[in-house]
Amino acid sequence: MLKQERAAFISKRLNEIYPETPVPLNHKDAYQLLVAVLLSAQCTDARVNIVTPGLFAKASNAQDMAVLKEDEILEAIKSCGLAPKKSRAIKRLSEILVENYNGEVPNDYASLEALPGVGHKTASVVMSQWFGFPAFPVDTHIHRLAQRWGLTKKNNNVVKTERDLKLIFPKNLWNKLHLQIIFYGREFCSARGCRGVQCEICTNCYPKRKKPFD
């Protein structure tokens, strides 16, 4: 099966399995999504969804978060990985949003990526899932599956994986597809579960593969 054939099969099958793609992080607006995605680094979405109600009860917007003490933010998010670093970032980015953007989240990559704790992946999620701009945020699930499915080279970094996925899939599919791949990776093609030789998509893309693809 050629790469384009694999991509077509993958897209079709994921649409059948996941016709709807709700954003897995609970949020009410762009600011809450930004904070939730920042918290999700080295932390599960399930844990973030446990933590954010308490955090947003203290401060649900940039103006209120900016006046909280860093220790108050840390107390609310301490069960998340890298909590001290994240509490500093949330405090400072909230201050910047109030100072420079009237408390609103900017809708361009340069401004988002200039915020403390916000890298390209976090900015891409906000741009795609809130503002609707075509984007293909690459997390560990997408990076792993893109390699297993032969859509990018095995030793590529996430930057090259994002580039390759954008080249092979139509732009109008990106926002939905990146969530579909994440859902599939969690449910059927986990890091230690499938290993490239068990799930439906892996076995259809590479029916002759016998050894685990790590």
- The yes-or-no answer on residue 121 being catalytic is yes
Q: Exactly one of 3, 45, 64, 139 is catalytic; which is it?
A: 139
CA distance 202 to 49: 30
Q: How far apart are CA 161 and CA 108, in angstroms?
A: 22
Whether residue 139 lies in the annotated active site? yes
d(CA 191, CA 10): 18
Question: In terms of Cα–Cα distance, which of 62, 127, 71, 54 is closest to 100?
Answer: 62
Instruction: Please tell me which residue in 86, 91, 121, 164 is annotated as part of the active site.
Output: 121
The whole-angstrom separation of Cα 100 and Cα 201 is: 46
CA pair distance 124, 49, nearest whole angstrom? 20
Residues with catalytic function: 121, 139
